[in-house]
Structure formats: structure tokens, C-alpha cells
């Protein structure tokens, strides 16, 4: 019999507390039972976590994942860990991404520009059409560099690639980044990154005017480029939802012409 889909894949669970509470219920565990399994004296720690009154450490999240795991009911410890880390705002490390290599799609076989980023927009994988069309050096493509930061670099390769079109693309990108991070403004990585981004030319003005664009980290976006339409599809990686797989594709003949112009299509 096939293992049931992990509840986290089908539910809109956004906080650590919601995830822990839901999975504990699925395991039919009392708060005190989960606490003891984690090595805690009483249920108060679990109660505070489930009501999001405290911010658990990485070590605490690992304990919770281990003791909430049941492959037939809630999923594996590795799956639960990834969702808890996503909710807590813990970005994947280079080592974690490398461990997932076998589960990341072979982007080089894809026809259109494609990439794998984490929820903080750090770039981990790209294919040749993406690198060629965006204008980034190969050495930037898999090192976990922040894509937004690269996009706004003064005299950077992306600005040079797009010329006058850059500001239009940057406006869409900032709106999308703003939408993706709406619930993460209090997380440490975001505060640090935003401070850095605001030192880059043009970013702060676009950031202050961002919002109102219907975008999502899970889903589809259509944008007009030089009279044509280009679509974007993005979806979380099943093995670790902190990583998002995205792909650009032409929606009409003008969009195809634009993508050909910038090297996205041969």
C-alpha cells in the first residue's frame, strides 16, 4: 500500500505551532507524551511551541521532527524537519541542498529557463537557458548567492544584459519578492538581507512601492515584456519545500521573440 501523502503537503500550515499541533494530533499524542519523548520535564514547552509563544531553536525543531515522525501517518523525520525549518525561517545550507541533489529535477534537460531557489531567493541551481538569458556567470549559479542582490548590483551583469528593460523586470521581481516574504519580516535572515538590499541602487524605491501584484511562491505569474507575454511557474520541491523550482516560458509569439532576443531560446 502506498504511504499516505504527508499532511503538510495538503494543508495550509504556516507556523511552527500549527505544524506541531497538527502532527501531534495525527500521532494521537498528548502534549505531555511529546514533551517526554523530547526529553522535557512537562508539557509546558510543547504548549508554548504550539501557541507560537516561543521561537524554537534549530535543536528543538530537530527533536520535534524526530518524535513526530511516522512514515505511515505524518511523514519521515526529514520531511517534517524541512517543513518546520520553512515555518521557522531557517534557510537551507549548501550541505543540505547537496544532499537533495538526487531529488532536484535535471534542469539542464528543460527547454526553457529554469532555476531552484530557496524561500529567501538564494540561487542554488540553474540551467543553461537561464544563465544565458539572465546574463549571470556560471560561478554564480549554484553557490547560494541571493538572486535579488545579483539583480540590483550596480553595473552588474544582469543590468547590462537587459539595458532599458531592466527596470520593468526589476519592478516585477521586487513585487514578487515582497509578496513571498510578507510573513517573514520578523525573521533574522530577512532583516539582514533587506538591510543589504536597501544599499543597492533603485531597490528601496521599488520596495517602498511594491505590493498589489498578484504573485505567489506557489503558482503562476504572467508578465508583459516588450509587447509579449511570458509566464512563470513556481512550485516547492516535494523533498524540501524550502526550495522552489521555477521556470519561464513564452505565452505568445511576441513573448517567444523576446526570450529569443535575450538568449532564453535557441
pLDDT in tens, 55-105: 999 999 999 999 999 999 999 999 999 999 999 999 999 999 999 999 999
Nearest to 259 by CA among 113, 151, 152: 113
Report the pLDDT value the prediction gives residue 213, as an integer from 0 to 100.
Answer: 54
Q: How far apart are the first and last CA of the chain?
A: 45
Contact 42, 35 (CB under 8 A): yes
pLDDT digits (tens, 9 = 90+) for 4-63: 445 555 555 689 999 999 999 999 999 999 999 999 998 999 999 999 999 999 999 999
Beta-sheet strands, E only, within 72-139: 114-118, 122-126
Confidence tier at 2 by pLDDT (50, 70, 90): very low
Domains of the chain plus CATH, in order, are 7-88 (1.10.260.40), 94-261 (3.30.450.180)
- pLDDT, mean of residues 234-239: 91
Q: Please tell me the pTM assigned to this model.
A: 0.87
Confidence tier at 216 by pLDDT (50, 70, 90): very low
> Rounded to an integer, what distance in angstroms lies between the CA atom of residue 92 and that of residue 79?
13
- Element spanning 25, H or E: helix 16-26
Amino acid at each position: 500500500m502506498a504511504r499516505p501523502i504527508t499532511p503538510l503537503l495538503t494543508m495550509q500550515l504556516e507556523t511552527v505551532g500549527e505544524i506541531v499541533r497538527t502532527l501531534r494530533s495525527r500521532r494521537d499524542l498528548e502534549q505531555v507524551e511529546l514533551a517526554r519523548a523530547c526529553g522535557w520535564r512537562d508539557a509546558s514547552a510543547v504548549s508554548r511551541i504550539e501557541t507560537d509563544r516561543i521561537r524554537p531553536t534549530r535543536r528543538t525543531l530537530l527533536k520535534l521532527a524526530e518524535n513526530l515522525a511516522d512514515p505511515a501517518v505524518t511523514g519521515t523525520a526529514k520531511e517534517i524537519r524541512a517543513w518546520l525549518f520553512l515555518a521557522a525561517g531557517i534557510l537551507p545550507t549548501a550541505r543540505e541542498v547537496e544532499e537533495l541533489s538526487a531529488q532536484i529535477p535535471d534542469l539542464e534537460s528543460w527547454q526553457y529557463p529554469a532555476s531552484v531557489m530557496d524561500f529567501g531567493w538564494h540561487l542554488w541551481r540553474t540551467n543553461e537557458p537561464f544563465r544565458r538569458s539572465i546574463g549571470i556567470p556560471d560561478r554564480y549559479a549554484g553557490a547560494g548567492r541571493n538572486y535579488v542582490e545579483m539583480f540590483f548590483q550596480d553595473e552588474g551583469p544582469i543590468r547590462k544584459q537587459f539595458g532599458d528593460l531592466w527596470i520593468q523586470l526589476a519592478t516585477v521581481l521586487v513585487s514578487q519578492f515582497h509578496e513571498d516574504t510578507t510573513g517573514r519580516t520578523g525573521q533574522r535572515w530577512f532583516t539582514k538581507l533587506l538591510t543589504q538590499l536597501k544599499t543597492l541602487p533603485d531597490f528601496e524605491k521599488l520596495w517602498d512601492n511594491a505590493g498589489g501584484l498578484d504573485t505567489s511562491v506557489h503558482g503562476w505569474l504572467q508578465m508583459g515584456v516588450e509587447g509579449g507575454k511570458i509566464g512563470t511557474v513556481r512550485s516547492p520541491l516535494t523533498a524540501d519545500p524550502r526550495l522552489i523550482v521555477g521556470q519561464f516560458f513564452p505565452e505568445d509569439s511576441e513573448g517567444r521573440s523576446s526570450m529569443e532576443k535575450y538568449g532564453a531560446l535557441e
